[in-house]
Amino acid sequence: MSRRLVHLWHAIVALMFATNAFAQIAPVGSDPNCSISYEDGPLRRRPGREAQVFDPCAAEGLLPAAWNTLPEFVAVPDRWRIVSALGYPEQLWDPYDGNNVLKGDRPVFGDDWFLALNLVSDSTFEARSLPTPVATATSPSPGALDALGVPEQTAFTQNFIFETVLYKGDTVFRPPDLEFRFIPVFNLSSVSVDEAGVLKADTTADLTRTEGFVGIQGLFVDKHLRNASERYDFDSLRIGIQPITADFRGFLFQDSPVGVRLFGNRSNNLWQYNAGWFRRLEKDTNSGLNDITETSFSDALRDDDVYLFNLYRQDFPFVGFTSQAVLVHNINRETDQNFVDNNGFLGRPSALGIQKNREYDVTYAGLNGDGHIGKWNLTLSAYFAFGSETPATFTEIESDIRAAFAAAEVSRDFDWIRVRGTFVYGSGDDDPYDDVSGGFDAIFENPLIAAADSSFWIRQAVPLIGGGRVTLSSQNGLLNSMRSSKQHGQSNFTNPGIVLLGAGADFDITPKWRVSVNVIQLWFDDTAVLEAARNQGGVQGRLPKDIGQDVSLSAFYRPLTSQNIVLRLAASALLPGAGYSDLYGSDVPYSVLANLVLSY
């Protein structure tokens, strides 16, 4: 008898829940009772809200009309439009509005086609002092008839980035089924100097250069091939101009080439992989953006192919630490003709050594890691480069490439302060005239380490002066690769290398303000290449390795405590060491900049 009472009680409770839920459903419909008056059924509404009466004869249904009186239970075509049905207005100017069709909050058309529009304004003004060559004996500056002229320069750069993404699919738990992405960048730059021949090869050109350019940094289609598990592990294929990064910190290859990329994940995202072929694009000389404005798209393609495979493993070997193995093969065949950049300077071959176009095959095998081990944050990177090039930079013979790179950065947080230490090593070539090229060079670097572009050495391209029209390190580059330019030059494995040891700290003064300080000691790994290029030695016939100390101070201000408005102020200088002084003198080069980023 007791068991029957229990079953009866369960049935009564179930009926009560069913009746209550049924009474709160508000479908619009009609039935023989569609003429029932408003008072014929229970009126349920939230306090302070007006009841809404729906026409019970407007559509087919099986419930009495009185049960269609609740605005919070309005029938909507899909869950994306619930916010609109509740009466919240759309505010297109607000990127955080939950009813913004421009930010993918609801379909732009169809059932599951979404649009995401990202707009960025990036403005930078910079005053700097760099070693600057005197082009001719007719320098406009009195007394500037030596190799070095007036070093002061000013520059203004404005980039407008319009990223448009159209994608199909329910992306709450899984990747989109199909994605189209278009990223044009509109650039305006203005640079003023005090020496002729710096901005243009034509020494009669104006000392201020103002130019605009439109580059395409993304234009691709991404197709979701399949789901590999019930947790939406997947495989996808991406074709077109697309951003790609070989490692965590941009040491080897970070660019937006044209290519085909297969990527995905496994084991609930513990494993991720990328496999692809990419062909590099010519760059606009002054903006550094992709230049596809040639007469045909094939003319914009460089004969420079990159085959890349990397594999990530999260929580290995420690929870919170991600390990990565990477294998990259670079084939360069740019030997057909010389390349002159937009300013009239020779980009390929570089004006260094025998000044001949080279071809090379080089493979990079690397291990990288990024994450934390307990309270310690850690980034590790190691590469070995091997292959061959013909001819070498300083000889007509074929040369074997054997070079190495390593980097480490460790940091720890103490309340609102983070302290860190940094080490970087890029091997240098010890003999530019033998058959081994031992200087490490990347494909296209953009290193995020050692204060990144807030530091002088990484931000500025310091010209060699007197040993060939090349730079020691490229703009937004760490390695002393001695290329003609980062945009147009080939990789150069006959270089003096780099050794860096640094310390720094970040101070989160408030949620809106962060201040960073960094001190970096720089050395050349081997100065033999510099001595050959400059035909110059120092004490005991060798140039000193000491480049100097790079000191920098930067402040970040986020008035909205988000990334929508970010103001950065930075100042950096290089205190010359013996090696730098032998090359350029004892003047202190510096950079002072203000950078404002607005994002929507």
Residue 21: pLDDT above 50? no
CB 57 within 8 A of CB 31: no
With cut-offs at 50, 70 and 90, classify the pLDDT of residue 305: very high
CA distance 256 to 267: 29
CA distance 426 to 474: 14
- For residue 469, give the nearest of 486, 481, 484 by alpha carbon: 484
Q: What is the pLDDT of residues 365-420, one digit of tens each?
A: 999 999 999 999 999 999 999 999 999 999 999 999 999 999 999 999 999 999 99
Burial class (CB in 10 A: 0-12, 13-18, 19+), 311: middle
CA distance 191 to 153: 7
Peptide bond into 317 cis (omega under 30): yes
pLDDT at position 428 is: 97
Q: What is the pLDDT of residues 536-594, one digit of tens each?
A: 765 566 899 999 999 999 999 999 999 999 999 999 999 999 999 999 999 999 999 99
Tokens at 406, concatenated:
């390593």
Residues 441-447, mean pLDDT to the nearest whole number:
97
CA distance 367 to 362: 17
Tokens at 272, concatenated:
């991720």
Element (H, E) at 529: helix 528-534
CB 473 within 8 A of CB 479: yes
3-state secondary structure of 50: coil
Map tokens 């760099």 to a residue. 130
pLDDT at position 55 is: 43
- Angle made by CA atoms 453, 455, 461, in degrees to the nearest 5: 70
CB 484 within 8 A of CB 343: no
pLDDT at position 2 is: 46
Alpha helices per DSSP H over 63-209: 82-85
Cα torsion through 389, 391, 392, 393, rounded to 10? -120
Residues 152-165, mean pLDDT to the nearest whole number:
97
Q: What is the CATH number of domain 113-599?
A: 2.40.160.100
3-state secondary structure of 456: helix
Tokens at 533, concatenated:
């290029």
Tokens at 410, concatenated:
């460790």
Beta bridge partners of 260: 239, 277
β-pairing, 399-414 with 436-437? Answer: parallel
3-state secondary structure of 18: helix
Q: What is the pLDDT of residues 480-498, one digit of tens each?
A: 999 999 999 999 999 999 9
Cα torsion through 254, 258, 259, 262, rounded to 10? 60
pLDDT at position 539 is: 56
Q: Which of 133-137, 231-235, 311-315, 441-445 has the lowest mean pLDDT?
A: 133-137
With cut-offs at 50, 70 and 90, classify the pLDDT of residue 77: low
CA distance 367 to 369: 7
CA distance 171 to 317: 31
**What is the pTM (predicted TM-score) of this model?**
0.85
Map tokens 């050109």 to a residue. 205
Q: Which of 60-74, 269-283, 386-400, 519-533 has the lowest mean pLDDT?
A: 60-74
CA distance 526 to 18: 82
CB 543 within 8 A of CB 532: no
- For residue 382, give the nearest of 481, 249, 495, 491 by alpha carbon: 249
Tokens at 565, concatenated:
């408005």
HEC profile of 33-75: CCCCCHHHCCCCCCCCCCCCCCCCCCCCCCCCHHHCCCHHHCC
pLDDT at position 91 is: 84
Q: What is the DSSP string of 426-447?
A: E---S-TTSSEE-----SB---
pLDDT at position 27 is: 37
Map tokens 């505010």 to a residue. 91
pLDDT at position 574 is: 97
Q: What is the pLDDT of residues 326-367, one digit of tens each?
A: 999 999 999 988 999 999 999 999 999 999 999 999 999 999
Amino acid (one-letter) located at 61:
G
Peptide bond into 257 cis (omega under 30): no
Burial class (CB in 10 A: 0-12, 13-18, 19+), 397: exposed
pLDDT at position 445 is: 96
CA 334 and chain centroid, separation: 27
Tokens at 8, concatenated:
């009866």
CA distance 178 to 176: 6
Domain boundaries defined on the chain: 2-75, 113-599
With cut-offs at 50, 70 and 90, classify the pLDDT of residue 61: very low
Element (H, E) at 101: none
Amino acid (one-letter) located at 132:
T
